[in-house]
Amino acid sequence: MKVSHLGRSAAVLAIGSLALTACGTDNATGEGGGSAETPAAGAGVSGTLTGIGASSQQAAMTAWQNGFQGANPEAQVQYSPDGSGAGREAFTAGGADFAGTDAYLDDEEYAASQEVCGPDGGFHIPAYISPIAVAFNLPGVDTVNMDGPTMAQVFTGEITEWNDPAIAELNPDAELPDTRITVVHRNDESGTTENFQEYLAAAAPEVWTEEVSGNWPSQWAAENNKGTAGVVQSTNATEGAITYADASAVGDLGTVAVQVGEEYVEYSPEAAATAVENSSAIEGRAEYDMAMDLERDTTESGSYPIVLVSYHLFCSQYDSQETAELAKAFGEYVISEEGQQTAADAAGSAPMSENLRTSAQEALDQITVAG
């Protein structure tokens, strides 16, 4: 698939230590993180920074906005959670200072970013790492086991009832009703959709035969809604419904434990971090770009493969000193220990490791002003 130069060895080191700090409370402080460990990074900046993008980040983004603006009272960060596709489109058109996206720029989008961000284009910081929950509304049932093929058959409409033999066989101790399954999917272009489809395509290639996309395939269209909040709302309102959404948003809905090797793994920040350990940097981008690919068909024990790495997209060059300083300062707050823990508390995400934060700081240090 696709891949950047994070510096291979640095990328492996950074990603490999993520799981060690997934809970975010045992990180050493004041050691080796550089300015990425300073909670009030960029204190004293002013002006307005505008972002558009992934709704999956919304809870974390609110926490980041509050924390950053508290440390920088003359600065304001505006963010519109219109979806990853809308964020990338606005960013590459020069209509946003940064974007939140659950999928990295494709080659065409990267080329477009070079027109507005200078020769190195836009670059990715993995700001938000979180499991994507497969969530359902089935009163009295909190957890259901599914393997990849069964899940794919549910979302393609081949399995239509909760007590279907394929589901029942994987859940011998569960009392599953004959309630009809209602699939709920996103109706906007979404990185969450793309990440979920990547899992289905890897885990059930004979069932999920459509090309992976940020849009839901029309041949499997079902009940739908816009954004993370929309699909969760529809699922809550419909008994028997099932959807996919950032885990921070699913509330009291039941969730699927996913088969990995010989076990079934429930979502958690730690399990998401374990999956990210096996990821690889993408190639063909700026030296410091941190976009990555994930091994969706991993058999690693304790790994939850339906994981979302949601990025912040920044320009390598900005037209004004004020915007460059604001972008760098906000990025530094997001990746700081405080910023990552604030997001974890608000959204249940997995905080970056110290090494990953260091790599992110090195990337942010590349931001310049167009001459």
State pLDDT tens for residues 171-214: 999 999 999 999 999 999 888 999 999 999 999 999 999 999 99
Distance CA(299)–CA(306), nearest Å, equals 13
Position 7 pLDDT exceeds 90: no
Residue 353 carries which side chain, given as an amino acid letter?
A: S
Q: Looking at residue 1, what is its pLDDT?
A: 35
Arithmetic mean of pLDDT, 29-54: 63
Residue predicted with more confidence, 278 or 260: 260
Arithmetic mean of pLDDT, 208-224: 95
Arithmetic mean of pLDDT, 338-347: 94
Distance CA(348)–CA(320), nearest Å, equals 35
Q: Looking at residue 43, what is its pLDDT?
A: 55
Confidence of residue 277 (pLDDT cuts 50, 70, 90): low
DSSP 20: G
How far is residue 323 from each of residues 51, 101, 118, 175, 335, measured CA to CA in Å? 12, 20, 15, 57, 18
Position 31 pLDDT exceeds 70: no
Q: Looking at residue 232, what is its pLDDT?
A: 98
Helix axes 107-117, 84-92, angle to 10 degrees: 40
Residue predicted with more confidence, 149 or 190: 149
Cβ pair 144, 136 in contact under 8 A: yes
Position 285 pLDDT exceeds 70: yes
Arithmetic mean of pLDDT, 229-233: 97
Percent of residues, the chain, with pLDDT higher than 70: 88
Arithmetic mean of pLDDT, 274-298: 83
Q: Looking at residue 163, what is its pLDDT?
A: 97
Out of 144-153, 274-283, 335-344, pick the least confident.
274-283
Q: Looking at residue 100, what is its pLDDT?
A: 97
CA 28 to chain centroid, in Å, comes to 25
| pTM for this prediction | 0.73
How many C-beta neighbours within 10 Å does residue 78 have?
A: 12
Q: Looking at residue 15, what is its pLDDT?
A: 37
Q: Looking at residue 4, what is its pLDDT?
A: 35
Give the best-scoring range by mean pLDDT among 98-107, 177-186, 283-292. 177-186
Phi and psi dihedrals of 306, rounded to 5? Answer: -90, 75
Q: Looking at residue 348, what is its pLDDT?
A: 85
Two tokens, residue 272 = 């998401």
Distance CA(89)–CA(198), nearest Å, equals 21
| Strand 143-146 relative to strand 98-101, pairing | unpaired
